[in-house]
Structures are given as C-alpha cells and as structure tokens.
Amino acid sequence: MTRPRILVTESLGPKGLSYLAEHADVDSHDLLDPKLLPGLMGEYDAVIIRSAHRLTRELLSGHPRLKVVARAGAGVDNVDLNAATEFGIAVINAPGANAIAAAEHTFALMLAAMRNVPQGGGHVREGGWNRAAFLGRELYDKRLGIIGLGRVGRQVARIALGFRMVVAAYDPFLPSEIFRTHHVEEVTSLDALLVRSDVLTIHTPKSGPKLGERELGLLPLGAVVMNVARGGLIDETALSQLLQAGRIQAAGIDVFSQEPPRLDSPLLQAPHVALTPHLGGSTHEAMVEVGLMTCRGVLEALDNHSPSNLVNVPIPDVPDDDVKSLGRAMSLLGQIFSRLHAKIAGSLVLTVGQDIPRSAIPWLRQSALAAFLTDRVDERVNTVNALVVAERQGLGVLVEESHSHWPDALGLRWEGHPESEVAFSITSDSQVILRILEGIPMDMPWPKMAIFTRHQDTPGVIGRIGTLVGEFNVNIGQLQLGRRQAGDEAVLVMSVDARVPEDLRTLLQEQPGMHAVEVFWEE
C-alpha cells in the first residue's frame, strides 16, 4: 500500500514527527512561508498547520488528493469548516491535549492575582519591602464558579477540590451525571452561578456565553475573574472599569479579544490583574501531547476511521472500540443496501436499536449515507460531506427507534417498503451479525467475503449454487438461507474463503430461477 504524503507547515515537535514518519512520508517545516502553501496543497494527502496559516475555501478547493487537514491545537478558527465539509475533507484538532496545562495555568494566574504576586515582585525589584501593602486572599473555602465543564473545566474542578474550594459549574450541554462524577454542584442558569462565585473562571469555546457589564455586575463584591479560554468571552472594558472601581478585586487574563493587545488596552491599565501572553497550553508536556494527538487523528482519518478528534463529523461520545464496530456495521449496511437497491425509491429510513447510544445517531446517519452513496456518485463522498452530497442527490434519510428483537440492531430500508430492510446487530465482542436481509429474518456473523443470491424458492437451486462454487475451487464457510414463505423468493448468504471470480458470478446469475447475484468483500 502506498504511504500517504503529509505536509507539516509549522513546528510539531520531534515525537509527533517521528510518529508520523513511521506511517507516512512527511515534509516538515519550522515555519513555511504562507505564500508557498497554495502551490503545495494539491501534492499531499494531509496538511497539518498550527496558528500561522489559514486554510480558506480557496486553498481547500480543487485538490482531489487532499483528504485531511489538521490544526495542532484545540481551536480551528483558521480553517474554513464549511468548505472542508463540502469538499469531504476531514478536519482534525487536538482538544484536551493541553487541558492539564490550561487548568494549571488557571491556578497560576488565580494565585498570582489573589496573592498580588506581580505587584509584590515589582515592589521588591524596586527595593521595597512593604508586606502590608500586598495582603492577599486564600483559595481555601472560596466558592469557585466554572462556566463550561469540558476537558479543561473538569481539570480545574479537580485542582480546586484539592485546594478545598467549594466548586459549582454551569454547562447546559452536559447531563447531570457528569457533574456528579466530578464532584461538582450543577447550577442550571448562568446568573445563578454568577451571584454565588467568589472566583469565576470560564472554559468554553468562542460560542460560549459572553460576560458583559450586566453579568460581571452580578458577581459578589470583591470577586476574582479568570479567563484562560478564549479572547472576547469577557468584555475587557467592563472588567477593567469594575476593577478600577474595586467592585471586582482581581483578575487573571491569558487571552485577549485582540492578540497581542494594544498598549492602550483597558486591561493593561487596570489594577490587580495578572497577565500572560496566551500561555495556557504552553508547556513542554502539552506540546508533545498536542503533536501526538494531532498525528494519531490524521493517520486514523487517512485510514478511513473516525477518530474522536474529528471536528466536522459528529463523533459519538462512546469508547473508541465501539466507534470502530459501529463504523464497520454502518459501512456494511450502507454498501450492501446500495448494492441490493440500485434505484433510489424515496427516503431512506435508518432504524436504531434501543441499546445504541442516542449520541451516536447523527454520526450513524452520516455514515449510512456515505456508505450508500460511495459507489453512486463520481465525487468524493464520506461521513464528512455525506449530508451535502445526499441533498444534491435529492436523497433524504429519516431516523426511527427500533423496538425489534435486537435492541443492538441497526437497519436501513426505503420508507414505506419494509420488504427492503437490511439490518445488523453488534454483539458485546464487536461481531457484526446479519439479522434481516430484504425483509427476511437471518442470523449469521457477516463474513469478510460473501456471495449473496436472491432466487426463486424451488428445488435444485441451492445444489446448483454449491456445485458451481466447488467447481471454481472456492471453499464455502457458512451458509444462511431465508424465505418469506415456501415457493416465494428466497435469499442466500454464503461465506467463502477466497475472492469470487467474475466468471463464477456470471454463471450463477445465468442459473434457472436466479433473480440476482452479488459478491461482497471487505478490504
């Protein structure tokens, strides 16, 4: 198999590059001149950037070889996600790789702000020793409010509990179980969190809530405010005014709405502020983990898997092994259904068993469409752009919860045509079991190579099939036969130990009573 070719435009670290080089041909740069990037995009299977480059629609278009782009970091603001999705290009990032670094830096700034470290250090350098002027405050027993209980927020909560702070959080997107697991009190409204927070820290993406003058004014008198997440989440002018007035006691700020901030930025003039130049994720350990997480995700995506750090596909929050087994089942389901039903007959219906995680449904929907459309269109189609391509083809897909005998089953059928259904279930040891084929109940582990026939249920058909397969020296493993009723149409699935020659398929198709013959194999 040809090794993929990968371009790295900025320093990624030796461990990440070494990992890539084991599996791909890599061209790496400490800092590639952005003017050279447009001329290189079409020569690579994947491109990895950091912060110095922007992957615009213009840069991403017209490169059929390019399958994956990656941002070695958490944010992907410098990648046009809509364009990448439209072109079927997977986007990888490294969320949470620097979570520990960002959480620790939150406390570095929190302690520095509450204990007057920057001011005290400057005072000593000027020859002073007025200890009373820099009286600080402890973290112990303070009420910490966390906005956003994601990867960083959870690490912040863990550290805060070590300081014996009282920890509460607001995150409307998480189930209550997450709060309980991390020993954090759940607060169901932002305002309710603000009014009780002696120390407030925010850890959300740019789409998170914005803290303006009204929100900051709800904090208790003498509160401390932290931002080691994204610039622009806190109104810097309002915060500086509240600091000047003494309404807010101190702040720790690592990120700014404009970076670097202007010298006349109000926060640079405000008292009791500990400032750093976006250092939250900047540790040696975090840089190594960011590089490795990015590289792993890129290689998995190039290998047609769905890594958890794939940005423009809704990857379910389930273990990686479950994602792989679900992915195999959906790939088989979509491809087999497509092969058996050449003509589109309305909308697809995806049935999802009760034991399949609800969080997986958006991804399963896209996976089913991608597998169904792969051999039907000339353009690239995958889980990234499946919805876009399906819309262009006029193909819709509905989702319904199945209450069948197999709560772990996934099925596809045409709306209004139950006789068209194909369904698989997934066992606890990740086996994919055929349960329904053309609306007929079946029970067979799906093999790597198989022959499928649809034929009239008459004597002699099965014998002729077996004889022909034997004449071509193709060994039969398992055989599963099903029918709706005697003398009606029947289906046969036969696992085989070798690729089926085209001549054999042709001869099978020519047999009396044979309606259809398909040959399947997994790469």
pLDDT tens over the chain, length 523 residues: 689 999 999 988 889 999 999 999 999 999 999 999 999 999 999 999 988 899 999 999 999 999 999 999 877 889 998 899 889 999 999 887 889 999 999 999 999 999 999 999 999 999 999 999 999 999 999 999 999 998 899 999 999 999 999 999 999 888 888 899 999 999 999 999 999 999 999 998 887 899 999 999 999 999 999 999 999 999 999 999 999 999 999 999 999 999 999 999 999 999 999 999 999 988 989 889 999 999 999 999 998 888 888 888 887 777 777 888 888 899 999 999 988 887 777 889 999 988 888 888 888 999 999 999 988 877 788 888 888 888 888 888 899 988 677 888 999 999 999 999 999 998 888 889 999 999 999 999 998 899 999 999 999 999 999 999 999 999 999 899 998 888 888 999 999 998 899 999 999 999 998 998 999 887 6
Cβ(118)–Cβ(112) below 8 Å: yes
Q: What is the pTM of this model?
A: 0.67
Same domain? For 90 and 106 the reply is no
Residues 493, 367 share a domain: yes
Element of type H or E holding 112 = helix 99-114
Q: How far apart are CA 392 and CA 336, in angstroms?
A: 22
Contact (Cβ atoms closer than 8 angstroms) between residue 410 and residue 353: yes
> Is the same domain home to 215 and 141?
yes
The residue annotated as part of the active site, out of 154, 230, 365, 413, is 230
Cα 483 off chain centre by: 41
Tell me whether residue 355 is in a domain.
yes
The answer to whether 277 and 260 have CB atoms below 8 angstroms apart is: yes
Indicate the SS3 state at residue 192: helix
Instruction: Tell me whether residue 310 is in a domain.
Output: no
The domain that holds 179 is classified in CATH as: 3.40.50.720
381 domain-assigned: yes
Query: Are 162 and 108 members of one domain?
Result: yes
Residues 130 and 169 in one domain: yes
The pair of three-digit structure tokens given for residue 372, joined into one six-digit string: 């169904």
Domain that holds residue 267: 99-275
Q: According to the model, what pLDDT value does residue 523 have? A: 67
Is 230 known to be catalytic?
Answer: yes
Helix or strand or coil: residue 68? strand
Q: Please report, to the nearest 10 degrees, the dihedral formed by the alpha carbons of residues 325, 328, 330, 332 taken in order.
A: -140
Q: For residue 403, what pLDDT is reported?
A: 66
Q: Domains in the chain: how many in total? A: 3
Shared domain check, 425 and 346: yes
CB-CB neighbours of 241 under 10 Å: 16
Measuring CA to CA, which residue among 104, 131, 134 is closest to residue 116?
134
Task: Give dist(CA 95, CA 293) in Å, integer.
Answer: 9
255 assigned to some structural domain: yes
Judge whether 415 counts as a catalytic residue: no
CB 442 within 8 A of CB 472: no
**Which is the catalytic residue, given 23, 137, 278, 484?**
278
